Structure 1
Amino acid sequence: MSGGLSRRVLQRLLPSGTVPAACPGSWSRVTPSCCGLQAGLRFMSGRGTMNVFNREMKKKQKNWAASLQDGHHYDYLRDEVGLRVADRVYDIARTFPLALDIGGGKSHIAEHLSKDVVERLFLTDISEKTLKQTKQSEIPTHCVLADEEFLPFKENTFDLVVSSLSLHWINDLPGALRQIQHVLKPDGVFIGAMVGGETLYELRCSLQLAETEREGGFSPHVSPYTAVTDLGNLLGQAGFSMLTVDIDEVQVHYPGIIEVMTDLQGMGESNCAWNRRMLLHRDTILAAAAVYKEMYGSEDGSIPATFEILYMIGWKPHESQAKPAKRGSATASFADLSKMGTPTDAEKS
């Protein structure tokens, strides 16, 4: 992480409750009592938010993963998705003076960007140990220890907001999207990636079948994810315009089910739902391994794990943006348009 942001800039963008902490580079900690929490609660007030995930457990999981000596070996999925998010940033022909990476961890997006595209960057994460391992980048970066559910930034602050493989652990995703739209400047853009509903379907199915056979029922071991059919509506309800949503699949091959689960732990991607089952019986794991190989195994003996990645792009409305024509303003009907490609009798002859 190179460079830093001036104290004057930090005071303008961060709330007064921000406390510096010992960490390489420019770094701040946001305490729960600061105005960032109040801003987050303002978006959530009056809404029945479901508390699906234990955020404190997720923080512990990410801190544990960051403490592994060989933790970089588990970054392959985040690096790949971060690269694909960066590609979408490059597709927009403009320079972003100030950007925000939500749940950026080790900065898997910024390492693929240049200072010609993003001039300055704020990077947040819930895990302090992960932030301390932020990768080197030519972009001046300021790390902020903050929960992604409560963004501690002022309205109309950022030209660009990005997020990669973080939003699927948010309890109130609609509220989080509204906060992102809130901190964007008019005509600012949000580019994000999160895992979708079909992620790890092989692991989920194998565990359910094995547990049903050995224990007479099953418990959820893979977290619930957002369906792609819901994502466009959520972005629209959050106030974004000119929406783009697309799906990509990343398939990784492993020697066996133990390696799949070990790598998920190393990524900090273990299940943190409140209703998760803490332990799996040894017999159930062995049965699940057999089911996995039987149903999904490859000819070379490996097993696939599929990650469905949902990419989203949304813009904060601005008067300069193109707008759809008013209803009833069309000058030609679909019937007229269909005749345009049909040759006349004279042309036929």
Structure 2
Amino acid sequence: MTDVIVIGAGISGLVCAQRLRQAGYSVLVLEKSRGVGGRVATRRLYGTCADHGACYLKPKGELFNQLIEILRDRHIIQLWTDTVYQHQSTTGLIVQSSATCYTAPDGMSAIAKFLVQKLNLHITNRVVKVNLTSENSWCLTLENNEQFHAKALLIAIPAPQAADLLTPLGENLLGTEFLKNLQSVEFNPCISVMAGFPHNSQPLPHWQALTFNDHPDLGWIGLDSSKRLQLEKPHFVVQSSANFAQQHLDTEDLQPVGNYMLKKAAAYLDLSWLENPEWATVHRWRYAFPRTPLDVACLPAQTPLPLVCSGDWCGGSLIEGAMLSGLAAAQEIDGQMGNQLSADRDFLDFVREFSTNSYTIDN
């Protein structure tokens, strides 16, 4: 029996798990993928790495600024650029806007690897069923039929996935309003193309990050190789618009889709060599950006034992929203379980004690 099980090792789940572990609860994190971070994702390929999910951090609220400061002090992130360019689809002009952007030289997933320290983590098995047992515990069944029991449950995955998992429990247990809110959240999808090019690819752009305004197919492009500490062959990450990704939500072979995106980017940016990469890999994010987020920091169910949902779809979006939602979920679970969280020692003070980004994974 574990005090709290967290489903999902994205930023929200990791922040909640660390906050509760700090308070003395036993916590188990279950993640269906091979690594941690969720959409704070890095793909390692062809001797380099590319950030195909969240591409950088932008300082916003005070708490998030403090987290960025900790990550900088630990040399996990560094300043990437202070300018994000915008491509106007009607005029073709590229205009600049001030935007302080931080990124991780070892890949954005290094942020999650830092936050997962000291947590009990179990990966590569999906939770397929949740039950409330007659012994008054949550029972979670994995796809390999392994089972875990807990007194409290945090669901830190995209709302549509959480709805699929929890809806079988029924309105009588979860509450009509809880299910209605959970099922109301919708996401925009995104397709990311990672592409590498020869050393002699010229001319290289003068920008590191560029947003396409109102482009029917393209959303964003970044010179991802400029994040790395060592001089590398140029490689880019190109992300699609939401409408374009929606058209290809069920396309089995995404490679032609990625080639089309590179060709479009080459034409619009007048960089003809962009459509002839040495290598290219395509990834589909079905739940990339919350389109209809809830106006709450986390979503608790009215169940006999604590059950709370969190994520960037609660009260905001992107990494900062996920962090704040995770902290709110920890507060909610703690309030239902006994109020062990100490007011005089906050989460960021605790995280400052972490000295490395090493972590152990239990298969």
Verify same fold: TM over 0.5. Answer: no
Higher RCO (Cα < 8 Å, 6 or more apart):
2
Larger radius of gyration: 1
Q: Which structure shows the higher helix fraction?
A: 1
- The alignment's TM-score, normalised by the length of structure 1, stands at 0.30
